[in-house]
Amino acid sequence: MDLKSKPPREPSLARGDFTRGELRHREQLHIQTTFGEPRWERLDNGRFQQSGGLALVDHLIEMIGDGKEATVYQCRATDALPVRFCAAKVYRAQSFRAFAKAGDYLADEHRRDRRAQKAIRQHSKRGRAMVHHDWIEREWRTLSDLYDAGARIPQPFAHTDVAILMAFIGDERGAAPLLKNVQLSRGDAARAFEQIVDTVRTMLDHDRIHGDLSPYNILYWDDEPIVC
């Protein structure tokens, strides 16, 4: 998908007021109208916020992951990013994903806001959007904090209300293999185990757990396991 032509207005992905058949189109359109537009500014920490004139993505290559909570697309990065390829992880609206406790991730201000709590209890469009946005904001903060602390995870670059842009683990031939599909020598396996434990330790130091850590959620690239 060429992202250089001016795209149409991007419809909401957070509320889920559309059919499953429209999901892929809306996900790709969101990448096009956000990360593909010249609206980003580089921060001192290497991440980006929406207040500048840089585009981060110039071509959406293909879908590379279709999980319970999100869809991941491989994209070609612009010169604004320090990588050749990046991955856009677009989180699904609550009506399209198997994630029952997203309300646990609410921002403190929404927990204290009685009107917000009412909207959430009633499952209104506003309430569903708040839950969705707060969940992704928490995911973004967690990724940023853990990466800065040295955890072996993809480098996060930017986020919107429904998506996170991060480094793509792999190359022009495709994504890095899952750990479950890699044959390692005894020595390499021992080293990979220690590296995974080190990342888990970093998570625990920041009061975080993975929740679904397995060889299906770990990539192996450049002789290192990358937890996703």
pLDDT of residue 124: 47
The 3-class SS string of 73-91 reads EEEEECCCCCCCEEEEEEE
Is residue 27 a contact partner of residue 162, using CB atoms and an 8 Å limit? Answer: no
Cα separation, 64 vs 72, in Å, equals 6
Q: What are residue 166's DSSP bridge partners?
A: 87, 156
pLDDT at 133: 79
Instruction: Check residue 47 and give its pLDDT.
Output: 98
Q: Residue 49: its pLDDT value, please?
A: 97
98 CB-contact burial (10 Å; exposed 0-12 / middle 13-18 / buried 19+): exposed
Q: What does the pLDDT read at residue 95?
A: 44
Please give the single-letter amino acid code of residue 160: T
Q: Which two tokens stand for residue 119?
A: 């909207």
Residue 198 has pLDDT above 60, yes or no: yes
Strand ranges in the chain using DSSP code E only, listed in sequence order: 40-42, 48-54, 57-66, 70-77, 85-91, 156-159, 163-167, 170-171, 174-175, 218-221, 224-227
Mean pLDDT calculated for residue range 193-222: 95
- Judge whether residue 2 has pLDDT over 80: no
pLDDT one-digit tens code per residue, 84-114: 999 999 998 654 444 445 455 444 444 444 5
- The 10s digit of each residue's pLDDT in 31-44 is 999 999 999 999 99
More confident residue, 25 or 42: 42
Asked if 226 and 220 count as a contact pair (C-beta separation under 8 A), the reply is: yes
How many alpha carbons lie under 13 Å from residue 90 in its C-beta half-sphere? 28
pTM for the full predicted model: 0.81
Q: What is the mean pLDDT of the chain?
A: 84
Rounded to an integer, the average pLDDT of 184-194 is: 97
Closest listed residue to residue 114, CA positions, set 139, 122, 133, 94:
122
Which conformational region is residue 125 in: left (phi greater than 0), alpha (psi within -120 to 50 degrees), or beta?
A: alpha
Q: Which domains does the chain have, with CATH numbers?
A: 1-100+142-175 (3.30.200.20), 176-228 (no CATH)
